[in-house]
A and B are shown apart, each in its own frame.
Chain A
């Protein structure tokens, strides 16, 4: 079974631009979560989607948003990019929502100049 895929793998943007990241979960998985990983803050939860609905949200500003489609694929959008948004953005999928195992994709490395 194919794993979680994320596109693009690398992105370079400038301050003020916006970016959209894509995630395709493992086949049959209906829950998708997004995380930001930086050396200083570690892995931080952004949001979780299940059945096209946002179930949970982390402590990030409104510039960070996401959505999930009927085929469980998810996108994450960051508007008005700041230098501090440079990070590895990870998507994880699980069969269902709730306290069960999540499997991570390879991540998208975003650099904001």
Chain B
């Protein structure tokens, strides 16, 4: 079992729709959870961090964390073609290492 798992996609949504990206993790002691966006040929860009159970909203982005289910998700409302990128889930556990999932490719079609 991988430490951090994401569906590689591609996830295709029409412009204006809600994109839902999911991530599961194996280390129950994980403390911090992050979503990064990576455009092709660029480095990862931090878009959300979440540390406690529940929802955290920032503009069109909402991160959701459920530690009991070891599940973290990212919702993107009113998706735009410029949101087309690979979204990386990253989890920091008791080891202190930041472990990344393989990423989900999102395609937003005009």
- Chain A: residues with Cβ within 8 Å of the partner, total of 23
Whether B32 and A43, one on each chain, are in contact in the complex, defined by CB atoms closer than 8 angstroms, is no
Report if B87 contacts A (CB, 8 A).
no
Whether A42 and B97, one on each chain, are in contact in the complex, defined by CB atoms closer than 8 angstroms, is no
Whether B98 and A102, one on each chain, are in contact in the complex, defined by CB atoms closer than 8 angstroms, is yes
**CB-CB under 8 A for A107 and B98, given A43-B88, A99-B92:** no
B interface residue count range (under 10 / 10 to 19 / 20 to 34 / 35 or more): 20 to 34
**Complex Cα gap A97–B97 (Å):** 10
Report if B49 contacts A (CB, 8 A).
yes
**Complex Cα gap A100–B45 (Å):** 14
Quote the shortest CB–CB distance from A97 to chain B (angstroms): 8
Report if A33 contacts B (CB, 8 A).
yes
Q: Nearest chain-A residue to B6 (Cβ)?
A: A42
**CB-CB under 8 A for A45 and B97, given A99-B31, A99-B92, A100-B32:** yes
Quote the shortest CB–CB distance from A109 to chain B (angstroms): 10
Whether B44 and A90, one on each chain, are in contact in the complex, defined by CB atoms closer than 8 angstroms, is yes
Report if B25 contacts A (CB, 8 A).
no
Whether B95 and A107, one on each chain, are in contact in the complex, defined by CB atoms closer than 8 angstroms, is no
Name B27-41 residues within 8 Å CB distance of A.
31-32, 34, 36
> Can you report 15 A-B residue pairs in the complex whose CB atoms are below 8 A from each other?
A35-B100, A42-B103, A43-B44, A43-B100, A48-B97, A56-B95, A88-B43, A98-B96, A99-B31, A99-B51, A99-B92, A101-B49, A106-B42, A106-B43, A107-B43
Residues of A in contact with B (beta carbons under 8 Å apart): 33, 35, 42-45, 48, 55-56, 58, 88, 90, 97-107
